[in-house]
């Protein structure tokens, strides 16, 4: 990772994410870059990628590994407060952060292979609510 005290950290190189053909429709894949979690989801032969952070609280969306969808498998859902996000653009359509968006990640496709593009900013680290609560008890 590129680190400069005057600028935000950014992704220093392209990272292989997956082959589109390896994912079924609405299947997700997760990846960690510099201790930041991201996920991608295939929908209608397209791949959408987002940092795994709810815009409302800064906590991970999924309740289990690679589980990001609501029960109807229509929306991405935050496991903390149930906010619903459109898959194709990350917009919140229900919950406490309506009209806000997940932070999209730029992808680069080379045939069937998808990569996380270099030179895009890294998000702030996720909030660990359990660790924060434990610190409050001290």
User: At 16, which CATH number?
Assistant: 2.102.10.10
**Host domain of residue 21:** 11-137
State how far Cα 88 lies from the chain centre.
13
The predicted structure's pLDDT at residue 59? 86
How many residues in total does the chain contain?
138
Rounded to whole angstroms, the Cα distance separating 3 from 92 reads 31
Assigned domain for 5 exists: no
Assigned domain for 104 exists: yes
Sheet strands side by side (includes 46-51): 28-33, 36-43, 46-51
| Tokens linked to 28 | 């997700």
Q: What is the mean pLDDT of the chain?
A: 90
Which pTM does this prediction carry? 0.86
The predicted structure's pLDDT at residue 124? 81
Question: Nearest Cα to 56, choosing from 34, 26, 32, 85?
Answer: 85
- Say if residue 80's pLDDT is above 50: yes
């Amino acid at each position: 990772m590129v680190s400069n005290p005057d600028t935000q950290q950014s992704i220093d190189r392209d990272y292989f994410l997956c082959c589109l053909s390896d994912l079924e429709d609405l299947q997700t894949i997760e990846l960690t870059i510099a201790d930041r979690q991201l996920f991608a989801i295939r929908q209608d032969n397209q791949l959408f990628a987002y940092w795994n952070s709810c815009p409302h609280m800064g906590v991970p969306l999924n309740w289990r590994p690679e589980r990001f969808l609501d029960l109807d498998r229509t929306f991405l859902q935050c496991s903390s407060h149930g906010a619903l996000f459109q898959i194709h653009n990350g917009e919140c359509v229900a919950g406490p952060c309506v009209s806000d968006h997940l932070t999209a990640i730029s992808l680069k496709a080379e045939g069937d292979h998808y990569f996380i593009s270099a030179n895009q900013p890294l998000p702030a680290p996720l909030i660990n609510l359990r660790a924060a609560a434990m610190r409050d008890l001290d």
